[in-house]
Amino acid sequence: MKKIISAFMILVFSLSITAQEHTSETVKDKEKTEASFFWGLFKSKRYPKDKTVVFDFEVSKTSEELNSTKENEYKEKSILGGAIKWTKKKPKKEVMSIDPKAIQEIDTTIALKERFGFIANEIGDSRIVALGEQTHTPDISFKVRADLIEYLIEYHDFDLILFESGLFDIQLATENMQKSNSIQDLQNGLYGFWGQIPQHKRLFEYFQSKLDSKEGIAFAGFDHKVTSKLVGTTDIYSKTLSALLLDIDIDPNSTEYKEYIATWQAIEENRKKGGLSQLVFPMTETEKNHFAKLSAYFQQKVLATNNKLWQHIIRGYDEGVILYSDFSMEKAQSDPSYILKINNNRDRLMADNLKFLLGEVYKDKKIILIGATYHFSKNVDKVTPNNIMGVDFSKSYTAGELISTEYDEKIFTIGFTAPASYTCNNDVYKGSLACLQKNKGYDIAYHPLHQWNLEEEDESKQQILRLFVPQMATKHPNWNEVLDAVVLINK
């Protein structure tokens, strides 16, 4: 039965590309906390590629290269699945054990400035704040986070939002938005569970007011694959790609150009079938290798014109096509290593996009990251139980981990949990943060993990957090190595 449920959830997430079709009523009907791990099923990170499919052109550094250039700053953490992870050495600071007085109530009935006034001291001079959701199932935590986004923009001058959405999807959506002066165009480029939900109604109204007043808030995506109906059910990508290549004087009669554009046209036509076809474009090993070589060839041509943005778009979207080309429900259900490979490669590609966007395109911006908490977390390999809905955390890499080598001191990460109830007279939860919060009478509260010494090697004494799946209690030897703070919501 567990395998059937897991397989069903994989199927549902694979179809989330069609989430733009969801109406607010549909979302509301499904608005509940459910043990979904949708965000974890197609995430990719540092994982050895299939040796039969090799991209000849690679811009981003490998972990080994990063280690050799930063060996004085980083230490080898663990060797898992053929990959090496590093954690930045931070200067030791005095931290106290859990102080219930430091738990901050988030009272949704008072004005934003008073509600989140404590945040200023928390984030300090961090240029980047990552706000993660437990799952992609909308609930009250989405509204709480939306209010915090508005607060950060209004009172702390944050001026860019990076969504866990397709790099090209949001580029196209923002171009449309600038022409129409309508925030609806941005919403059309997002997943439906962000763009079309009642919890974000006020937030998009706020964005519209900023757009109307010409106040500069920018939007971008950092995912490596097509994520919206705007792109996923049209031929806009192949047309834009074709125009770009012709604009840099690629010969339209060349075999490479004809084969490459024809492949993307076939991918788009396949997506129109709906269902898994929106994710999966079947390819043989020979076809995958040939497509990879074409991709590398055109990446080099585009990069030669110093168009790094489109080099990243091409690389990510093409690798995504290859990555999901042999996906099937049977394989996802029976082969955990296959899901791990997809997960790890997705986060690797997202981390590469983030490094580029944070370090080159938007290096002078104050940035809010929106996505799944898992993507922004670090050191998840020590989470127990380490197998969560079929994903082996002990061999997982997150985008947060991979960008921490360069941005650890600049990013402040807050995870938001879905509403959950806790039995606090139970020995399991008695000393948990959730029960400390409950004892204070707070429905919604902020817990500053970075302030506290939560280190505990004895698993029986480790803090419990339902951080990744609402119904699953997980432990970690030191949660403040995973993220800086968490917002818990008690039912």
What single string gives the DSSP state of each residue in 273-288? T-GGGGT-----HHHH
DSSP code, position 145 = H
Tokens of 263: 């492949």
The strand pair at 474-475 and 464-465 is best described as antiparallel
- With CA atoms as reference, report the closest residue to 70 among 362, 408, 369, 397: 408
CB 350 within 8 A of CB 223: yes
User: What is the four-CA torsion angle of 298, 173, 191, 267, rounded to 10 degrees?
Assistant: -40
Residue linked to tokens 């506290």? 452
pLDDT for residue 314: 98
pLDDT > 90 fraction of the chain, expressed in percent and rounded:
62
Predicted confidence band at 471 (pLDDT cuts at 50, 70, 90)? confident
Q: What is the mean pLDDT of the chain?
A: 82
Q: State the Cα–Cα distance between residues 166 and 329, nearest whole angstrom.
A: 24
Reduced to 3 states (helix: H, G, I; strand: E, B; else coil), residue 370 is: strand
Q: State the Cα–Cα distance between residues 379 and 85, nearest whole angstrom.
A: 9
Range with the lowest mean pLDDT among 47-61, 88-102, 241-255, 447-461? Answer: 47-61
Average pLDDT over residues 153-165: 96
pLDDT for residue 89: 36
The helix (run of H) or strand (run of E) holding residue 185 is: helix 184-188
Predicted confidence band at 389 (pLDDT cuts at 50, 70, 90)? confident
Reduced to 3 states (helix: H, G, I; strand: E, B; else coil), residue 5 is: helix
CB 313 within 8 A of CB 225: no
Average pLDDT over residues 269-297: 95
pLDDT for residue 371: 96
Paired with 105 in beta bridges are 445
Q: State the Cα–Cα distance between residues 408 and 89, nearest whole angstrom.
A: 10
Query: Would you put residue 441 in left (φ > 0), alpha (ψ -120 to 50) or beta?
Result: left
Over the stretch 104-113, which tens digit does the pLDDT of each residue have? 999 999 999 9
Range with the lowest mean pLDDT among 156-165, 190-199, 303-312? Answer: 190-199
Question: How many Cβ atoms sit within 10 Å of the Cβ of residue 421?
Answer: 10
Average pLDDT over residues 129-139: 92
Q: State the Cα–Cα distance between residues 174 and 211, nearest whole angstrom.
A: 11
Q: State the Cα–Cα distance between residues 134 and 33, nearest whole angstrom.
A: 10
Residue 392's φ and ψ, nearest 5 degrees, are -85, 100
Residue linked to tokens 């059309």? 188
pLDDT for residue 433: 92
Angle, CA of 188, 246 and 249, to the nearest 5°: 145
Q: Is the Cα torsion angle 345, 348, 353, 354 positive or negative in sign?
A: positive
CB 215 within 8 A of CB 157: no
pLDDT for residue 96: 59
pLDDT for residue 72: 34
